[in-house]
Amino acid sequence: MTLSLDTGRRIARSVHAAAHRLQLRPLTIVVLDSGGHVVVAERSDASPIGRFEIARGKAYGALALGMNSRAIMERGERQPQFVASATAALDGRVIPVPGGVLVDDASGRLVGAVGVSGDTSDNDELVAMEAITAAGLAPRGAWA
Amino acid sequence: MTLSLDTGRRIARSVHAAAHRLQLRPLTIVVLDSGGHVVVAERSDASPIGRFEIARGKAYGALALGMNSRAIMERGERQPQFVASATAALDGRVIPVPGGVLVDDASGRLVGAVGVSGDTSDNDELVAMEAITAAGLAPRGAWA
Amino acid sequence: MTLSLDTGRRIARSVHAAAHRLQLRPLTIVVLDSGGHVVVAERSDASPIGRFEIARGKAYGALALGMNSRAIMERGERQPQFVASATAALDGRVIPVPGGVLVDDASGRLVGAVGVSGDTSDNDELVAMEAITAAGLAPRGAWA
Amino acid sequence: MTLSLDTGRRIARSVHAAAHRLQLRPLTIVVLDSGGHVVVAERSDASPIGRFEIARGKAYGALALGMNSRAIMERGERQPQFVASATAALDGRVIPVPGGVLVDDASGRLVGAVGVSGDTSDNDELVAMEAITAAGLAPRGAWA
């Protein structure tokens, strides 16, 4: 396993802690390994019932296309037909809005992805990146 | 069950009564519990054969994303790719036009959703909200 | 519409009344028109969340193959591969156990089907047939 | 939410603790609310990549049909075509082997289901039941 259950739990816990600190809406977190398979998923109380699929799609799409979901969104603004068709080709598992972040280990090797859904997309992405960093890993994509 | 069959029937009956009073086109009503599962479905005579799936999608999408289908429509105007991809991730069960209304009980707890299809979307939503209120429950979202 | 909403409601009500009289487990009822489209669906309190799909499959399979679901079951005992493949060809909408009953009007014309799920299959079928008769229509298949 | 994230985490943790104590193979745990939606999912290191879907299917099938997955298995021994067709009708989300256990609260109300996969089915079910009990809830079904 490229990303351990223990690390996945730590990431999920950090996301919830950040959400609490920033007073965000209830969040759903999905942590995938580099093969796109669920390691950890957690849906906060009152997080709507479809958020697991949304969070997973943010993370899975990032892995599938090799870029954070924000970058997929930007690609979609230039080439909407590509993103729509890629989504269909990938069985609906691409959600092209921010909140899906690729995860590298200390040596720069891709080990998985985190998807967060529930607040604004920008905040979903922010807390995902914070949590990855807090777990000692490196989130793809620069951020301010 | 978060929303009883008896309550579901009352909501459906109220929708039909409102439709008759307002002289609307034939309507289809679907009442879902908070998990998104059918409690009651009723398709009026002459309501087209696909209206069940449409009404259910309005209600299910509202539950899945945590907002009335009108709000999903408005989200889609800002982020069309998000709504399209969320629909794919949720197996086609999101219809982003007005007519899907979340239902809360007296204490503000989410208990289900109502989806109406058949007249204009605005009227679909109007009668859904009226019917929810008539059943002693609270529809999400302000309305005139 | 081959089977009116009013008739569909009467059938559903009769099923529930029979279930109460016979002290059956909570039932789910689906009434389809001759095209296989939902007219009425009702899921009793405490009826499990998958029963809508099961009841609909009993009714839809009956219409799709032109015989009550009990007859499909018996066919499946002789030719299991046929029933399995027919189910796949019909997108999973065939449930080959008793409880799906075709409905004819007084002149012998097929007008729809009723599917019941929740108690034993034999009882599901029994109450479906009783309810169809109580609504002034004719259930396919002899019964004692 | 019928089953809180906090309770879901406790159940998952108890499953892992029991697995460690009994020296079981790596396990995957999925906890669903009463509507069948993921609350918590955890896949142990070295648990194969398909175990999430298997564990979820054990839990979801139990909710959909209203009986533990062991009971679905036993039903399938009597009526194999029923279980196969129910699985198709429920989009493949039924795994008819032990390990999926319904969860009731102290007042006997259904609040969700737990699915475990990875060791023998009997052990999967055993640790699921232990964990539910340890979380202060009641697993459906007698067990030794």
- Provide the ipTM: 0.94
From residue A64, how far is each of A72, C85, D21, D28 by CA, in Å? 10, 33, 38, 23
Chains that touch A (3 or more CB pairs under 8 A): B, D
**Stretch C10-23: mean pLDDT:** 96
Is C93 close to D89, i.e. CB distance below 8 A? yes
Q: Which residues of D touch B (CB under 8 A)?
A: 33-37, 91
Is A52 close to D37, i.e. CB distance below 8 A? yes
Locate the chain A residue with the closest alpha carbon to B64. Answer: A50
Residue A95: its pLDDT value, please? 97
**Residue D84: is its pLDDT beyond 50?**
yes
**Residue D143: is its pLDDT beyond 50?**
no
D60 Cα to chain C: minimum distance (Å) = 9
A and D touch with 3+ CB pairs <8 Å, answer: yes
Q: Which residues of A touch B (CB under 8 A)?
A: 47-51, 53-54, 56-57, 73, 76, 80, 83-84, 87-88, 92-97, 121
Is B36 close to A54, i.e. CB distance below 8 A? no
In tens, the pLDDT along D31-55 reads 999 999 999 999 999 999 999 999 9
Residues C83, C96: contact at Cβ < 8 Å? yes
- Based on its alpha-carbon atoms, the radius of gyration of chain D, rounded to whole angstroms, reads 14
Is B43 close to C40, i.e. CB distance below 8 A? yes
Q: Which residues of A touch D (CB under 8 A)?
A: 1, 4-5, 8-9, 33, 35, 37-46, 49, 52
**Residue A144: is its pLDDT beyond 70?**
no
Domain boundaries, chain A: 5-139
Residue B62: its pLDDT value, please? 98
Among A121, A24, D91, A117, CA closest to B64: A117
Residue A142: its pLDDT value, please? 52
Whose tokens are 């699985």? That residue is D87
Residues near A142 by beta carbon (within 8 Å), at least 6 away in sequence: none
Residue B141: its pLDDT value, please? 81
Residue A143: its pLDDT value, please? 47
Select from A1, A41, A44 the Cβ nearest to the Cβ of D45: A1
C20 Cα to chain B: minimum distance (Å) = 14
Is A5 close to D39, i.e. CB distance below 8 A? no
A141: pLDDT confidence band, cut at 50, 70 and 90?
Answer: confident
In tens, the pLDDT along A5-44 reads 999 999 999 999 999 999 999 999 999 999 999 999 999 9
Which residues of B are less than 8 Å from A88 in CB distance?
88
The token pair that represents C19 in the structure block:
């279930």
Cβ neighbour number for residue A75 with a 10 Å cutoff: 17
Select from B5, B42, B43 the Cβ nearest to the Cβ of C45: B5
In tens, the pLDDT along B76-91 reads 999 889 999 999 999 9
Return phi, psi of residue C75, to 5°. -60, -40
D87: pLDDT confidence band, cut at 50, 70 and 90?
Answer: very high
- Based on its alpha-carbon atoms, the radius of gyration of chain C, rounded to whole angstroms, reads 14
Chains that touch D (3 or more CB pairs under 8 A): A, B, C
List beta partners, residue B104: B110, B138
In tens, the pLDDT along A52-104 reads 999 999 999 999 999 999 999 999 999 989 999 999 999 999 999 999 999 99
From residue A59, how far is each of A31, A142, B126, C23 by CA, in Å? 7, 17, 37, 49
Residues C60, C83: Cα–Cα separation, whole Å:
13
Indicate the CATH number for domain D5-139: 3.30.450.150
**Stretch C8-30: mean pLDDT:** 97
From residue C68, how far is each of A140, B41, C75, C95, C129 by CA, in Å? 58, 23, 11, 10, 11
